[in-house]
Amino acid sequence: MTFNIQDKTHILMDCDGVVWKGNKPIPGSKEALENLEALGYQLGFVTNNSSLSRQGFIDKFISLGFESEKYVIVNSGYGAAIYLRENMLSKIFMIGEKGLRHELIHQGLSVEELYQPDLQAVCIGWDRKLTWTKLADAMWVILNNEGGFVGTNPDNSFPSADRLVPGAGAGIAALANACGKDPDIIIGKPNPYLLNLCLKKMGCTDSTKAVFIGDRLSTDIKAGIDAEMDTILVQTGISDFHLKKTILPTYTLESLAQIDQLI
């Protein structure tokens, strides 16, 4: 397929598996981003990871040697906080890490990690200290309080520097199975919610002027397609190639370092 990005104005991409793995930049990613910025593209980053706040991601970019002052960053914790606020759910039981807590509080929400009788919703993200007690308290909010049930992202696994580890989707699945109830919404990709939110923050009203770069067909590429964007699959993260017959990226590259081939 003939494809170039010269008619695009906005380039959105995933972080883990595209720009870095764990705490190590993927070779060539820094130079690729610098080149895209120099050419005038606006860069946005859309990640399902809720363990860091948006500021936490900026700090990570800086620590890995990236110039991130002009980046727009949207993660599933921020998206979940926006969704809860817009749906008038302000008293939240949270399962997650400090990045999620920061985003919820930043939107003016009251956040608890112990059961309270007046809680209105559960927001569950990636939590490396997930316990039976947390799941039991969240289950009580959902079933006995008739509370909302919001998941940050469905990723069952997460690429660390040297291996896969359980992702937020594993905890969401455990809670859903215990409750016998699916989440009201899962904010992260493949839901196009975060991509649309990022485009809105960047002032882009035409999704055909944007392209989305990701490493997973089932989440990244599916979200890009549903957001009516062109998509680029890179093969540096978790590439579920068995789905390529049903989820078709516009173009495939070995890595972000090859993006200059399309310019």
Q: What is the CATH number of the domain that holds 244?
A: 3.40.50.1000
Q: Look over the chain and give the mean of its residue pLDDT values, rounded to a whole number.
A: 93
Tens digit of each residue's pLDDT (9 = 90 or more) over 202-216: 999 999 999 999 999
Residue 71 lies in a domain: no
Same domain, 22 and 115: no
Same domain, 235 and 223: yes
Q: 254: which DSSP letter? A: S
What pLDDT, on a 0 to 100 scale, did the predictor assign at position 22? 84
Same domain, 122 and 168: yes
Query: What contacts 72, CB < 8 A, 6 or more positions away?
Result: 42, 43, 44, 45, 198, 201, 202
* Partners of residue 233 on adjacent β-strands: 214, 252
Q: Which amino acid does the sequence have at 34?
A: E
Q: Is the CB of residue 95 less than 8 Å from the CB of residue 171?
A: yes
Tens digit of each residue's pLDDT (9 = 90 or more) over 90-122: 999 999 999 999 999 999 999 999 999 999 999
Same domain, 199 and 252: yes
What pLDDT, on a 0 to 100 scale, did the predictor assign at position 50? 94
Alpha helices (H) in 126-216, listed in sequence order:
132-144, 168-179, 193-202
What pLDDT, on a 0 to 100 scale, did the predictor assign at position 44? 98
Residue 162 lies in a domain: yes
How many structural domains does the chain have? Answer: 2
Residue 246 lies in a domain: yes
Residue 4 lies in a domain: no
Percent of the chain residues past pLDDT 90, beyond the cut:
85
Q: What are phi and psi of 140, to 5 degrees?
A: -65, -40
Same domain, 169 and 209: no
Tens digit of each residue's pLDDT (9 = 90 or more) over 141-151: 999 999 999 99
Residue 70 lies in a domain: no
Same domain, 91 and 181: yes
Residue 18 lies in a domain: yes
Q: Is the pLDDT at 2 greater than 60, yes or no?
A: no
The tokens describing 104, both together, are: 């919820």
Q: Is the pLDDT at 230 greater than 90, yes or no?
A: yes
Average pLDDT over residues 78-85: 98
Same domain, 215 and 251: yes
Parent domain of 28: 10-48+189-262
Same domain, 180 and 194: no
